[in-house]
Amino acid sequence: MAQYDLYEADDKMIADMLVNDLILGWVNGKYEIGPRALGNHSILAAPFRKCTRTRLNQIKHREQFRPIAPVCLEEDAAQWFGCDHTSPHMLYAYRATTDALAAVIHVNKTARIQTVSSVTNRNMYELLLEFKARTGYGVLCNTSLNFNGRGFINKIGDLSLYVIKHNLDGFVVDGRSYILKSSSRYQTYLSMSKAIAGRNVTPFAQ
């Protein structure tokens, strides 16, 4: 039986975990239909390291040449990707203006971005703001949260199974964060971070 530490969802803590290289499932709002994640049923990670892209493609059981797309604050899209208009549906590729976002920049220096505003996806927008406050970049890796060939994950038991089977570090759903106690990255985060000091932690068995 996998055990989780259970928290009330907190963008500050989630952003801290992402900064410390945890990879998290993110379930928020309505289902998404189509070949791309748009911030409601996603796998999120920090965008800075090539090894993160490698790990995400391993999680997704995909070839390593496959790119990982970024979700970006709408107001930052021009600075990092030369995109001077909204791009909410991840339909167009733009040339990156920095090498710092190695996990989301393809070999040809482009990225197929999704822009997010407080209107289009408030929860994702607020998480990106917290991530930017810590790193200077309002950008995250964003790839679809689903079983290969099986479509939607629509039960928390299936979500937990996915996290365990595919070696994520936890997931966020329905206002709560479930973080795997067995995750070495999480344990490192706990030992290094003071961000959770004073919070109530309740073990959750799945």
Residue 206 has pLDDT above 50, yes or no: no
pLDDT at 205: 44
What is the rounded CA–CA span in Å between residue 1 and residue 186? 18
pLDDT at 146: 77
Question: How confident is the model over 171-198, as a mean pLDDT?
Answer: 85
Residue % of the chain over a pLDDT of 90: 71
Tokens of 7: 């928290």
Q: Which residues of 32-44 are buried (b: 16+ CB within 10 A; e: fewer)?
A: beeeebbbbbbbb
Residue 195 has pLDDT above 70, yes or no: no
Residue pLDDT, tens place only, 107-121? 999 999 999 999 999
Given CATH 3.30.70.20, say whether it is the number of domain 8-174.
no
Residue 199 has pLDDT above 60, yes or no: no
Kindly report the pTM of this predicted structure.
0.91
pLDDT at 156: 87
Query: 57, exposed or middle or buried, with CB in 10 Å at 0-12, 13-18, 19+?
Result: middle
Question: How confident is the model over 16-36, as a mean pLDDT?
Answer: 83
Residue % of the chain over a pLDDT of 70: 86
Under a CB-based contact definition with an 8 Å cutoff, are residues 5 and 201 in contact?
A: yes
Tokens of 81: 């990707």
Neighbouring CB atoms inside 10 A of 100's CB total 14
Residue 29 has pLDDT above 80, yes or no: no
